[in-house]
Amino acid sequence: MVVCVCNALREKDVREAARTGAKSPARAYRSLGCQVKCGACIPFAHEIIRTERSAAC
Protein backbone atom coordinates (compact mmCIF):
# COMPACT_ATOMS: atom_id res chain seq x y z
CA MET A 1 0.00 0.00 0.00
CA VAL A 2 1.26 3.48 -0.84
CA VAL A 3 1.52 5.73 2.22
CA CYS A 4 2.94 8.85 0.62
CA VAL A 5 1.94 9.67 -2.93
CA CYS A 6 4.30 12.66 -3.18
CA ASN A 7 7.34 10.49 -2.44
CA ALA A 8 5.97 7.14 -3.66
CA LEU A 9 6.67 5.58 -0.27
CA ARG A 10 5.08 2.28 0.58
CA GLU A 11 3.95 1.06 3.94
CA LYS A 12 6.82 -1.42 4.14
CA ASP A 13 9.34 1.42 3.60
CA VAL A 14 7.90 3.42 6.49
CA ARG A 15 7.77 0.32 8.73
CA GLU A 16 11.40 -0.44 7.97
CA ALA A 17 12.39 3.16 8.79
CA ALA A 18 10.52 2.89 12.10
CA ARG A 19 12.26 -0.39 12.91
CA THR A 20 15.64 1.22 12.30
CA GLY A 21 14.95 4.10 14.69
CA ALA A 22 12.81 6.75 13.01
CA LYS A 23 10.46 8.20 15.61
CA SER A 24 8.46 10.53 13.38
CA PRO A 25 7.30 10.69 9.77
CA ALA A 26 9.79 13.48 9.04
CA ARG A 27 12.68 11.37 10.32
CA ALA A 28 11.43 8.27 8.54
CA TYR A 29 11.16 10.13 5.25
CA ARG A 30 14.60 11.66 5.72
CA SER A 31 16.10 8.22 6.33
CA LEU A 32 14.50 7.14 3.06
CA GLY A 33 16.07 10.06 1.21
CA CYS A 34 12.99 12.27 0.92
CA GLN A 35 11.06 14.84 2.84
CA VAL A 36 7.46 15.68 3.71
CA LYS A 37 5.82 17.68 0.93
CA CYS A 38 2.03 18.15 1.04
CA GLY A 39 1.67 16.48 4.45
CA ALA A 40 -1.52 14.56 3.62
CA CYS A 41 0.19 11.28 4.56
CA ILE A 42 1.42 12.35 7.99
CA PRO A 43 -1.46 10.92 10.09
CA PHE A 44 -1.19 7.53 8.36
CA ALA A 45 2.62 7.51 8.52
CA HIS A 46 2.48 8.48 12.17
CA GLU A 47 0.11 5.61 12.93
CA ILE A 48 2.35 3.12 11.10
CA ILE A 49 5.39 4.29 13.07
CA ARG A 50 3.47 4.19 16.35
CA THR A 51 2.27 0.61 15.82
CA GLU A 52 5.68 -0.55 14.59
CA ARG A 53 7.46 0.94 17.57
CA SER A 54 4.96 -0.42 20.10
CA ALA A 55 5.27 -3.88 18.50
CA ALA A 56 9.02 -3.70 19.02
CA CYS A 57 8.67 -3.17 22.78
In this structure, which amino acid lies at residue 51?
Answer: T
Closer to ligand FES by Cβ: residue 30 or 56: 30
What distance in Å separates the CA atoms of residue 11 and residue 45, rounded to the nearest whole number? 8
Interface with ligand FES, residue 39, by CB under 6 A: yes
Interface with ligand FES, residue 55, by CB under 6 A: no
> Is 18:53 a contact under the CB 8 Å cutoff?
yes
Shortest Å distance, C-beta 30 to ligand FES:
12
Q: How many CB atoms lie within 10 A of CB 57?
A: 4
Interface with ligand FES, residue 8, by CB under 6 A: no
Per CB under 6 A, residues contacting ligand FES are: 4-7, 36-41
